[in-house]
């Protein structure tokens, strides 16, 4: 399979150094305007909340983002610029850069604007109360995920090649998978001495190589010369949801099982074995209390879902929060006990689906459990049913990578299945996860070149049927 052509409006990534700040912003603005004229979509529908009048950069810095135009997620404060936190009712002009933005500048980024985000980053879909949300370039009927959906859509549309994003429950990996891009949540520290923090800062980039560059990870010198394996890697695989008893769409399950098998052809992989869910599904209720507790201070006004999450947090007693905190602290050890205790030995990477079905239709979550109902508890359960694996890697702080098996350009109008490669503890690095993903995509591309009908087994046409997942119980054979 030949490499796909650049997406419409694709940004350049020659990395030759900074240009004039105003000129850089003007180039992105022009790219956005031309794409808007061609598609009939607004900037917000293309993932862009606003373009700054001038780029923010520190020309003294020569980090991995040097020479790249980067959008900042609209949850983060850039000094002198408006931040809305995904809600027009909370727009403020930041006095100073926040910690995440300071880090971006230190890494050499040229900050050119803000990307659309879900309100307060609280959901895995993005449907603003005022105005349109980002439109999925694969199929405009499909949700583009959340909460970093603007970042994913802007990159997928070629407005920028890299966008800042954050991931507190899948918010990098879910929207990346929704639009057919890779998404890496880096390893991060969950325990900061207080309430556990499941969120990591990161990026969404247009391909695996640029993802590696954005994170400052040394990549391959060429596709034919991967890093030398340092030891045999042991893979685990499951399609069984960790956090619900709902089903997985059969094509997704079959494609993930095939991907796990294909990874055995990587020279560093010694084998793959089944793994079970590492804890009872009921335990997710305990872990979700930490997320609710982190929402206790969300301000008014807020729409239904953030308001419900805030109330869930406020209803928790100090004892319940303390118990949930202790459970999250113990979680990595509990998982290692479960997975390492298998008779076939421990595993280094666990392969699961990223999403349980193709992105559902716009409104599928907010209307749960039915078209005439607005039940935030059912909304939360539906979000969990769609993404019943990713949060484990937020709660442990272990690295996780979502990777589409094929490029959306290989099967226009069809959604490519993404699998999740989850590190177990610190046994593998992000570089090793990326190399496994490279191998998987290259192997799949050769299969498609040999037989184009393979695409039918790893892509899906039309939005996912969320109701079917929720109504059908999970099966042990998946």
DSSP assignment string, 245-278: SB---HHHHHHHHHHHHHGGGSTTEEEEEE---S
Residue 476 lies in a domain: no
Residue numbers of the chain with a pLDDT score lower than 50: 1-10, 12-20, 221-224, 476-478
Q: Which of 68, 98, 99 is nearest to 83 (CA)?
A: 98
First to last CA, the chain: 30
| pLDDT tens by residue, 249-264 | 999 999 999 999 999 9
Whose tokens are 């009939």? That residue is 40
Strand, helix or coil at 220? coil
User: Of residues 18, 29, 87, 147, which has the active-site annotation?
Assistant: 147
CB 442 within 8 A of CB 424: no
Maximum pairwise Cα distance, the chain: 61
Q: Which two tokens stand for residue 209?
A: 């190589």
Task: Please state at what angle helix 376-386 crosses helix 304-314, rounded to 10 degrees.
Answer: 100
pLDDT of residue 374: 73
What whole-number distance in Å separates Cα of residue 422 and Cα of residue 305? 28
Strand partners, 48: 115
Q: Do the domain assignments include residue 165? A: yes
**Domain around 335:** 21-217+229-471
**Is the preceding omega at residue 301 within 30 degrees of 0, hence cis?**
yes
User: Tokens 């290692």 identify what position?
Assistant: 336
CB 80 within 8 A of CB 231: no
Other beta carbons within 10 Å of 474: 20
Lookup: tokens for 228: 């030398």
Which of 21, 29, 36, 73 is an active site residue? 73
The residues with which 273 forms a beta bridge, in sequence order, are 236
- Give domain status of residue 12, yes or no: no
183 vs 210: CA distance, rounded Å: 11
pLDDT the model gives residue 4? 39
Catalytic residue among 24, 115, 171, 402: 171
According to the model, what pLDDT value does residue 130 have?
Answer: 81
**C-alpha angle 21/23/29, rounded to 5°?**
110
Q: Residue 58, class by beta-carbon neighbours within 10 Å (0-12 exposed, 13-18 middle, 19+ buried)?
A: middle
Q: What secondary structure does DSSP assign to 118-175, as a single string?
A: -GGG-SSS---SSS--PPPSS-TTB---SSSHHHHHHHHTTS-SEEEEEESSSTTHHH
* Count of CB atoms situated within 10 Å of the CB of 40: 7
pLDDT of residue 15: 37
Q: Is 270 a catalytic residue?
A: no
Query: What pLDDT, in 10s, does the model give residues 289-331?
Result: 999 999 999 999 999 999 999 999 999 999 999 999 999 999 9
Tokens (6 digits) for 3: 């490499």
Beta bridge partners of 142: 361
14: in domain: no
Q: What is the pLDDT of residue 476?
A: 45
Reported in sequence order, the residue ranges of 287-387 that DSSP labels E, i.e. its strands, are 349-353
Judged by DSSP in three states, 115 sits in strand
Residue 58: give its domain's CATH number: 3.90.1300.10
- What's the distance, CA 157 to chain centroid? 16
Q: Which of 19, 224, 219 is nearest to 11 (CA)?
A: 19
Asked if the structure places residue 5 within a domain, the reply is no
Give the tokens for residue 103. 């880090």
Q: Cα-Cα-Cα-Cα dihedral of 203, 208, 209, 211, to 10°?
A: 10
pLDDT attached to residue 218: 84
Any catalytic annotation for residue 2? no
- Token pair belonging to 432: 């090793």
Apex 443 CA angle, 439 and 448, nearest 5: 150
Q: What is the DSSP letter of 89?
A: G
Give the CA dihedral 322, 324, 325, 328, nearest 10 degrees: 160
Residue 228 catalytic? no
397 with 196: CB under 8 angstroms?
no
B/e letters for 333-365, b = 16+ CB within 10 Å, e = fewer, are: eebbeebeeeeeeebbbbbbbbbbbbbbbbebb
Q: Is 31 domain-assigned?
A: yes
CA angle in degrees (0–180, nearest 5) for 105-6-140 = 90
Judge whether 267 and 305 are in contact, CB under 8 Å.
no
What total number of domains does the chain contain? 1
Residue 75: the pLDDT is 98
């Amino acid at each position: 399979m030949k490499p796909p052509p650049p997406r419409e409006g694709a940004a350049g990534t020659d990395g030759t150094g900074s240009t004039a700040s105003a000129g850089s912003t003007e180039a992105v603005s022009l790219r956005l305007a031309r794409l808007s004229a061609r598609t009939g979509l607004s900037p917000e529908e293309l993932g862009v909340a606003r373009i700054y009048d001038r780029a923010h950069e520190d020309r003294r810095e020569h980090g991995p983002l040097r020479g790249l135009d980067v959008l900042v997620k609209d949850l983060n404060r850039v000094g002198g610029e408006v931040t809305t936190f995904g809600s027009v009712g909370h727009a403020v002009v930041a006095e100073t850069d926040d910690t995440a933005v300071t880090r971006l500048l230190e890494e050499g980024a040229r900050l050119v604007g803000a990307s659309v985000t879900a309100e307060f980053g609280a959901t895995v879909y993005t449907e603003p109360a005022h105005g349109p949300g980002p439109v999925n370039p694969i199929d405009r009927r499909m949700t583009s995920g959340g909460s970093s959906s603007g970042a994913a859509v802007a990159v997928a549309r070629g407005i920028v090649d890299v966008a800042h994003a954050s991931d507190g429950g899948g918010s990098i990996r879910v929207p990346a998978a929704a639009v057919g891009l890779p998404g890496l949540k880096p390893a991060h520290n969950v325990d900061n001495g207080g309430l556990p923090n499941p969120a990591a800062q990161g990026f969404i980039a247009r391909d695996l190589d640029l993802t590696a560059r954005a994170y400052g990870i040394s990549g391959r010198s060429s596709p034919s010369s991967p890093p030398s394996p340092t030891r045999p890697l042991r893979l685990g695989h499951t399609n069984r949801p960790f956090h619900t008893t709902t089903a997985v769409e059969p094509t997704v399950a079959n494609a993930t099982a095939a991907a796990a098998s294909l990874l055995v052809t990587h020279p560093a992989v010694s084998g793959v074995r089944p793994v079970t869910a590492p804890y009872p599904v009921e335990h997710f209720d305990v872990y979700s209390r930490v997320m609710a507790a982190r929402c206790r201070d969300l301000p008014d006004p807020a729409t239904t879902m953030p308001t419900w999450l805030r109330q869930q947090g406020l209803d928790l007693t100090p004892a319940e929060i303390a118990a949930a905190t202790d459970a999250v602290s113990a979680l990595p050890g509990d998982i290692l006990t479960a997975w390492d205790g298998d008779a076939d030995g421990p595993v280094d990477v666990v392969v699961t689906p990223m999403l349980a079905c193709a992105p559902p239709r716009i409104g599928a979550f907010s209307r749960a459990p039915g078209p005439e109902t607005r039940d935030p508890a059912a909304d939360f359960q539906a979000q969990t049913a769609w993404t019943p694996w990713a949060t484990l890697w937020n709660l442990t702080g272990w690295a996780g990578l979502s990777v589409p098996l094929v490029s959306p350009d290989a099967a226009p109008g069809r959604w490519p299945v993404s699998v999740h490669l989850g590190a177990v503890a610190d046994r593998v690095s992000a570089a090793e996860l990326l190399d496994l993903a490279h191998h998987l995509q290259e192997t799949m591309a050769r299969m498609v070149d040999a037989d184009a009908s393979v695409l039918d087994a790893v892509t899906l046409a039309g939005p996912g049927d969320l109701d079917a997942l929720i109504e059908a119980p999970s099966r042990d054979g998946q």
